[in-house]
Structure formats: C-alpha cells, structure tokens
Amino acid sequence: MPGPISSFTPTESLSERRLADPSLPVPPRKKRVIVTGGSGKLGRWVVREMVDHGWEVFNVDVVPPAPSEASVKARYIYTDLKDYGSVLGLLTDVDSGWRGVDAIIHLAAIPAPARAPNHVVFHTNITQTYNILEAARVAGVKNIALASSETVFGIPLHPHPPESFPLTEEPERPESSYSLAKLLGEKMSEQFTRWDPELKIVNIRLSNVIAPEDYINFPKWQDDPWQRAWNGFCYIDPRDCAQGFRLALEKPLKGTHVFNIANADTAFTAPTAELVKRVFPNIPYKPDTSDPREGLISIKKARDVLGFDPKYDWQSEVKKLQAGKA
C-alpha cells in the first residue's frame, strides 16, 4: 500500500493533480496570467483575449464577472489588492487552486479622476501598483504589463495644450492625483527593473476606453470637436486595447517600456488637420502616417515594437449598431 503523498508540489496545488487518469501523460501546463480588474469595462475583454490565445487566466477583482462572461473559461478570485499579504498569496499559492503564475496584467484601479477624493484615488491606485510589483519581485514573476494612462500627457489638453502633435511617449505632465499615480507607477517600474535586469514591465498608456455599445454616441458630437478636445479626439476600443496588453506580455523584452495604445483614427469624420487647426491652431502637427484621420496619440512605437495593429473603428461599429436596431 503506498505511503502518504504530499498535497502540494513545488509547482502544483492539490486540485491541479486530482481527477486525472494516472495512466495518461500529464498534460502540459498552460501559461498562467493574473488579470487584475478583470471584471471591468476593459478587463473583461483582456480576459477574453488571453483565454482565446491559449493562456490560463485568473480574473482578480473585488467584483465578480458579469453574467455575459459566464462562458469565458477564466477563474475568478476575490482579492483586495491594497492588502500586500493577499497579493503575495495570490501570486504564490492558493489552496486547491494553483501554485505560481507566469505573468500579470494589472488593470485594477479607481479608473479616472474625480471618482473619489484626490487622496483616495492616489493612495488606492499607487498602493495597488506597488503591492503588485513588490509581490511579483518576491514571487519571481518577471513578465508584467501595467495600465498607465493618456492622462500622463497632461490631460485635459485644453486648456493645457502640448508642445506638438502627435503625442509620443515622452510627455510627462500629470494634472490630477489619478495621473500622478499613473506616472509614479511608470517610475516605480524603472527602479524595479533596475534591481532585476531579467524583469520586464510594460506600461500601457491607454486612451479613453469606449465600450462597443457606446459608439452609438459618436455621431452626436461630429459638429463640436471641443467635446473631445480634452484628449486630442482619441479613443481606444477595449478589444484593441486587449490586443496591446497581450502583445506586451508575449514580446520578448526586458526592462521598462512605455507604449501608447489608441485606435488609429480620431472620434470624428473630419480630417485631423482640420480639427487641429480649429481647436489647437498654435500647436505644430506633423502626421505620423498618410491617414488623413489619424489619431493625435501616436501609436507608431507600439506598432513598430509590439506589432500592435488596431482592428476596430467607430464608424464601422456604428453601422453594426444601427443595423442591429433596424
């Protein structure tokens, strides 16, 4: 009669080895990724993207996923990311769940300025980011993507215009406690990767996330570019944004990197040069591409380094929504 066996191995928790035919080969383990904030407006699409591309996904949030996500093969686990011990436990060993992860996509945050008092936004977001980076360092997780923000550029761009368009990754001018915390997340990344040359941390400066059903609002502001002047008329579809985060993990990089992620076009049918002339007449504009409607947040670096290729545009999505209502 066999003696007692351990409930855990260095790489497995108990449940990872149960209910398996011992005569069959052990199936290869998928790459594991933690997606914090995976129940949110962007997070649900990031979870889907990673599942669809062969990752084993753990959705870490304080809110369970919506009923619409019931068929998505990801595991939900409640975690308060402000508690460092919980984050460390999450990355290392969860009883009857898993032991160890390969990568982290950190989205969880108070998602914009003015959603809470300034100090609450700052302390919540910076604490969660620090806890993720420090727990990852202790647990040996070396592949991380963080959600930074277009607000680091100095949004609102009106009345705080930049020196030139399009906006590259260089500007750093936070105008809120939210954007300050995002910039400091980028700066923390620099130091964590200095401590460990094998570590990769990619900061994604994502544009304003627009849920697919909200494209129906875009035609309403076509005659008033001032409504979208605050971020240079830009937006990001969550499905394209999810592609950017996946590519950030899959690209074999080391060190700290910052990439803008936005859609290729603006939120208007008018040519970009006309919008700039009308709203930002004193700001130099040198187009990145030959597209007359290119966005004013440059995605050239993400295209060149990550292979980012946005697939969605608001005009096509509006047509789909209108056809669905016909």
For residue 96, is it left (φ>0), alpha (ψ between -120 and 50) or beta?
A: left
Q: For residue 27, count other CB atoms closer than 10 A to its CB.
A: 7
How high is the pLDDT of residue 14? 64
State the pLDDT confidence band at 326, using cuts at 50, 70 and 90: very low
How high is the pLDDT of residue 17? 60
Q: Helices 118-139 and 84-92 meet at what angle, rounded to 10?
A: 40
- Residue pair 179/205 in contact (Cβ under 8 Å)? The answer is no
pLDDT at 76 over 50: yes
Q: So where are the chain's domains? A: 28-324
The rounded distance, in Å, linking the Cα atoms of 129 and 191 is 13
- Residue pair 11/100 in contact (Cβ under 8 Å)? The answer is yes
For 175, residues 6+ apart whose C-beta sits below 8 A from its C-beta are: 151, 154, 155, 156, 160
pTM of whole model > 0.75?
yes
CATH fold, domain 28-324, is: Rossmann fold (3.40.50)
Residue the block writes with tokens 């998602």: 111
Map residue 253 onto helix, strand or coil: coil
Residue whose C-alpha is closest to residue 279's, from 291, 267, 262, 263: 267
Q: What is the mean pLDDT of residues 113-118?
A: 94
Give per-residue pLDDT as tens, 180-205. Answer: 999 999 999 999 999 999 999 999 99
Q: For residue 103, count other CB atoms closer than 10 A to its CB.
A: 22
- Residue pair 141/102 in contact (Cβ under 8 Å)? The answer is yes
pLDDT at 320 over 70: yes
Element spanning 124, H or E:
helix 118-139
How high is the pLDDT of residue 97? 73
State the pLDDT confidence band at 294, using cuts at 50, 70 and 90: very high
Triad 105, 111, 112: Cα angle to 5°: 140
Locate 210 and state its tokens. 């627009």
For residue 197, is it left (φ>0), alpha (ψ between -120 and 50) or beta?
A: alpha
